[in-house]
Amino acid sequence: MSMKTILTSFFALSLLMLLGACEPKDPAIIKVFVRSSSNQLIDGAKVIIIGDQQSTPATLAFVDTTFTNSSGFTTFDMDPYFSIAGESNKTGYFDIIVKYNNKTAYGYTRAKVHTTAVETIYLPN
114 backbone dihedrals φ, ψ, rounded to 5°: 65, 25
10 backbone dihedrals φ, ψ, rounded to 5°: -65, -45
Residue 18 has pLDDT above 90, yes or no: no
pLDDT tens sequence across 67-98: 999 999 999 999 999 999 888 889 999 999 99
Pair 41, 122: CB distance under 8 Å: no
Between 22 and 38, name the one with better pLDDT. Answer: 38
- Distance (Å, rounded) from C-alpha 63 to C-alpha 53? 11
> To 5 degrees, how large is the angle CA 89–CA 90–CA 93?
90
Between 88 and 119, name the one with better pLDDT. Answer: 119
- Distance (Å, rounded) from C-alpha 92 to C-alpha 110? 6
pTM reported for the whole predicted model:
0.79
Please state the rounded mean pLDDT for residues 17-22. 57
Q: 83 in helix, strand or coil?
A: helix
How much of the chain exceeds pLDDT 90, in percent?
71
Domains of the chain: 25-122 (2.60.40.1120)
